[in-house]
Structure 1
Amino acid sequence: QGVIEDGALEVSLSIDEITLKDLFPGLDKTFAISLRGQDVQGIDTMGDGYLLLQDGDIGDGRVSAALHEGAVVLCRVYHGEDGLHLQHTDGTESQVDPEHDDFKLLGRYAGHINRHGLFQAPGTVYTEHALNGATVTTT
């Protein structure tokens, strides 16, 4: 409903949305994917919410999100001569061809938002310093 600046509240009816850049000015190449009735294997999105991802190279062992056979999964990604090796959060592993129609690597996992708040992936840097897995929640 407004902005507090220099100890005073300035009412502003024009503020009707908050972006990721508003919350975390240091974000770089981070985007959100809306999840509608879609669970994500490995995190509790409650069938709704947002998945926070980062663009860029996905190095070996990085936790990433992928659309695999119609399901959104979090997994560690390893690059090999015969495609990508995925280690899923449930302990299973799979080998995929990144060019196959039923697979799309979405980005590096940065966190997620559900009805309980915003959850950051451990070690993700949103500002000049890492928050070490801190959780920002709403009340």
Structure 2
Amino acid sequence: MPRSERSPLLLAGLLAVAGVAHFAAPRQFDAIVPTRLPGSPRAWTYGSGAVELALAAGVAAPRTRTAAARAAAAFFVGVFPANVQMAVDSRRGPARRRTAALARLPLQVPLVLWARGIARSGEGQS
């Protein structure tokens, strides 16, 4: 499989695993939903999990890859406040959790760039 095909499938896999995790272990995600958001944290957890699964399917399929990759980049930007919330909340927790939460913040940048790169590589293809 050419490298250009592996990258979208790897991103799709990452999104799928994250999406499934939202349903399999929702409490950990409920805890990082910013309190300013309206409604139930569980609704946001399940909603974001469903979005991740849809994005995974879209990125995996060559026909929808470009649009789905653009949407994934926007999604990664959109969930950044939850990562900030996790970092803020981890200040009172064990050092290991604090380190993991802080390390997650800059991870959003390569995820956004990865998704944008996949979208760009698909532009102009039919």
TM-score surpassing 0.5?
A: no
Greater percentage in helix: 2
Greater percentage in strand: 1
Q: TM-score range by the shorter chain?
A: under 0.3
Identify which of structures 1 and 2 has the higher relative contact order when contacts are C-alpha pairs closer than 8 Å and 6+ apart: 2
